[in-house]
């Protein structure tokens, strides 16, 4: 490790390229925390948004009109407003209102009352629901691609609506939805940078703090780029592996 620190220090002295987050301990700790927060935020939001998509798509086909309307309203609200506005709204308007109404559970952070859902929590809620609203529609497209005859066959075999969704419709729909889902999840990972407006110390926020204190803007910009290219690269690679592992010969592929 020390060798890498020395290399970065030496690089700065020789070329003026200041990778301060490698050789200075304070900045290094900040940087790693930022990276961890971005990873956590991305993983939690990806999982939650897929769950929201699966559940939402099932509710869309419900027999209850009210449920269908609720899902439609949810999609309209989250898909049609900018994620930046949502983050600010959730954190500053909704969060505070819930606290004022006494609905928000509080916990004691060392003689200091903090709401259970803080800025990280609101970022998770807002980003998951934002990406989830797209996922609902993505899964709907997959569900609609499942032939009616297949669903009728399941019904004839005595499957309930939920059972047929879980065992017959969703497994087929999922495979059809995966390419579109990929796109949306990649977008979601990139959108986590917006959480810096509500002071979630993720990668973007941390890079901003580091370049403000060290005036190494180009270096940090380049670092940000590399971090996100790597992060999205890993996600895409995983999704492709998953897609291949789930392939059913003869379904959805002509070759």
Partner 1 sequence: MIQRLSAFALSVAIGLMAAGAAQAQCKNETLKKVLDRGKIVVGVKADYKPWGFRDTGGNLVGMEIDMAKDVADALGVGVELVPVQSSNRMQFLQQGKIDLMIATMSDRADRRKVVGIPEPPYYTSGTNVLAKKGMVKSWDDLRGKPVCGKQGAFYNKATSQRYGANIVAFVGNAEAKQALKDGRCIAWVYDDSSIMADLASGDWNDYEMPLNTEDDNPWGLAVPLEERSCLFGNFMSGMIYNWHVSGRLMELEKKWGIQPTSYLQKMKDKLDFDRSYLQ
212 touches partner 1 by CB under 8 A = yes
Judged by CB under 8 A, the residue of 80, 113, 149, 254 near partner 1 is 113
Decide whether 59 or 94 has the Cβ nearer to partner 1: 94
196 touches partner 1 by CB under 8 A = yes
221 touches partner 1 by CB under 8 A = no
209 touches partner 1 by CB under 8 A = yes
10 touches partner 1 by CB under 8 A = no
Binding residues for partner 1, rule CB under 8 A, total 20
116 touches partner 1 by CB under 8 A = no
As a whole number of angstroms, the distance between CA 54 and CA 171 comes to 11
CA angle 247, 249, 252 (to 5 degrees): 70
217 touches partner 1 by CB under 8 A = no
Bridge partners of residue 115, in order along the sequence: 106
Instruction: Report 23-62 residues binding partner 1 (CB under 8 A).
Output: 26
| Burial bucket for residue 194 (CB in 10 Å: 0-12, 13-18, 19+) | buried
HEC secondary structure over 112-154: CEEECCCHHHHHHHHHHHHHHHHHHHHHHHHHHCCCHHHHHHH
Decide whether 27 or 135 has the Cβ nearer to partner 1: 27
Decide whether 55 or 217 has the Cβ nearer to partner 1: 217
Shortest distance, CB of residue 197 to partner 1, whole angstroms?
Answer: 6
Shortest distance, CB of residue 217 to partner 1, whole angstroms?
Answer: 11
As a whole number of angstroms, the distance between CA 138 and CA 248 comes to 20
Shortest distance, CB of residue 202 to partner 1, whole angstroms?
Answer: 12
Shortest distance, CB of residue 206 to partner 1, whole angstroms?
Answer: 10
119 touches partner 1 by CB under 8 A = yes
64 touches partner 1 by CB under 8 A = no
> Which residues sit at the interface with partner 1, rule CB under 8 A?
26, 92, 95-96, 99, 110, 112-114, 118-119, 196-199, 205, 208-209, 212-213
């Amino acid at each position: 490790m020390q060798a890498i620190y020395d290399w970065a220090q030496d690089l700065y002295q020789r070329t003026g390229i200041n990778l301060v987050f490698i050789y200075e301990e304070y900045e290094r700790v900040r940087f790693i925390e930022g990276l961890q927060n971005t990873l956590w935020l991305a993983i939690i939001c990806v999982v939650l948004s897929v769950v929201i998509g699966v559940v939402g798509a099932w509710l869309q086909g419900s027999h209850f009109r009210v449920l269908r309307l609720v899902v439609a309203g949810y999609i309209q609200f989250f898909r049609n407003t900018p994620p930046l506005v949502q983050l600010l709204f959730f954190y500053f308007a909704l969060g505070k209102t819930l606290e004022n109404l006494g609905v928000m559970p509080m916990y004691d952070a060392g003689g200091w009352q903090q709401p259970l859902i803080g800025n990280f929590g609101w970022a998770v809620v807002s980003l998951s629901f934002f990406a989830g609203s797209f996922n609902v529609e993505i899964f709907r497209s997959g569900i609609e691609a499942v032939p009616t005859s297949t669903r009728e066959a399941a019904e004839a075999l005595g499957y309930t609506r939920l059972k047929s969704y879980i065992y017959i419709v969703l497994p087929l729909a999922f495979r059809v939805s995966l390419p579109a889902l990929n796109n949306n999840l990649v977008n979601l990972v990139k959108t986590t940078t917006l959480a810096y407006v509500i002071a979630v110390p993720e990668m973007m926020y941390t890079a901003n703090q580091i370049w403000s204190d060290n005036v190494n803007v180009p270096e940090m910009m380049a670092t940000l780029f590399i971090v996100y290219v790597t992060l999205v690269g890993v996600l895409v690679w995983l999704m492709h592996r998953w897609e291949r592992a789930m392939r059913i010969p003869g379904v959805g592929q002509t070759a």
